[in-house]
Amino acid sequence: MMNEENVRPIEKSIVTDFSDRMSYGGYLGLDRLLGAQHPLSDPEHHDELLFIIQHQTTELWLKLVIHELASAREAMAADLLPVALKRMARIKHIQNVMIQQWSVLATLTPTEYAQFRNDLGNSSGFQSAQYRAVEFALGNKNEKMLSVFDSDPTARAMLERELHRPTLYDEFLRLAARRGLEVPSHILERDITKPYSANDDLVPVIQAIYEGTEQYWDLYEACEELVDLEDNFQLWRFRHLRTVSRTIGMKVGTGGSSGVDFLQRALSLTFFPELYAVRTRIGS
């Protein structure tokens, strides 16, 4: 007999007939979403589902990051810095989730992964167009990466658009210039299809923001938000590196990269170099 004291009755006002109404699953497209996991191992390896879902959820979060970065740049271009700060704050929370996700994949042992790794063929996270779009939006542009997506016109077109769009840092510096700060013209007029590189001429401008918080408080806050974004991105890269290291050691990546060594070199890449360089000057 059912213990009715341990049953929560369905309230009469709750809708239960969805024959002509939109349901939760219908709104979210759960039939397609939950049907998008197709393990290739035969017989199916228990842990391949983990591997697929880990990467699919990462791609969903990257889609949202791209959405928020686009909005943040539009807001900065329209001098709506509070809106941009809101978008950046959301991105930081998304990044925290993505960083923590690595702990789930890290439960996959080398022995378990080796039993279905060959079924991946040459598929690799290196081929993530959305990851590259985020890197491009933050400043690590690399036109040579476009050729990786020659077989995927939609992905290549997305990256082409991102290549020719100002980065988040470009929009911030343009906003700072409109506020009266003397951002060097050669930085404002740089070729935005190229990766951003450190420029000592910009450091005094950033220093003026940090040392003039009463006048530039919102710009100062934006600088710290940008630093948070970069720190989180580097933490994500590091957790990726450590997860790969504990799972495949020093093996070559499925996509043909050198694996751990390739990921290690990515840690030297930076998005907003002057925001770090200024810390050496402040208080000196």
Residue 54 marked as a ligand binder: yes
Residue 7 in domain? no
Per-residue confidence (pLDDT) for residue 20, from 0 to 100: 95
113 labeled part of a ligand binding site: yes
The pLDDT of residue 1 is 55
**46 in a known ligand binding site:** no
The reply to whether 63 falls in a domain is yes
The angle, 0 to 180 degrees and rounded to 10, between the axes of the packed helices 168-178 and 48-77 is: 20
On whether 51 is known to bind a ligand per the annotation, the reply is: yes
User: Up-side HSE of residue 282: CA atoms within 13 Å toward CB?
Assistant: 16
Q: Is 169 within any annotated ligand binding site?
A: no
Distance CA 30, CA 236 (A): 28
Residue 38 domain flag: no
Residue 3: per-residue pLDDT? 63
Domain range enclosing 91: 45-239+273-279
282 assigned ligand-binding residue: no
Q: Which residue has the tokens 């995927």?
A: 152
> Is 136 annotated among the ligand-binding residues?
no
Classify residue 33: in a domain, yes or no.
no
Q: Does 94 show up as a binding residue in the annotation?
A: no
Query: Cis peptide leading into 43, omega within 30 of 0?
Result: yes
Whether 9 is covered by a domain: the verdict is no
Q: Is residue 93 a part of any domain in this protein? A: yes
Assess if residue 264 is contained within a domain.
Answer: no
Residues of the chain with pLDDT under 50: none
* Start-end of H helices in the chain: 24-28, 30-33, 48-77, 81-105, 110-114, 129-138, 153-163, 168-178, 185-188, 203-211, 213-248, 260-266, 273-281
Domain total for the chain?
1
pLDDT for the residue numbered 77: 98
Q: Give the model confidence (pLDDT) of 5-52 as tens digits.
A: 788 888 999 998 999 999 999 999 999 999 999 999 999 999 999 999
Domain containing residue 158: CATH number: 1.20.58.480
**Domain presence at residue 180:** yes
The pLDDT value recorded for residue 182 is 97
45 has binding-site annotation: no
Cβ neighbours around 164 below 10 Å, total: 11
CA distances from 156 to 19, 35, 135, 164, 219 (A): 41, 26, 14, 13, 34
Q: Is 162 exposed, middle or buried (0-12, 13-18, 19+ CB in 10 A)?
A: buried
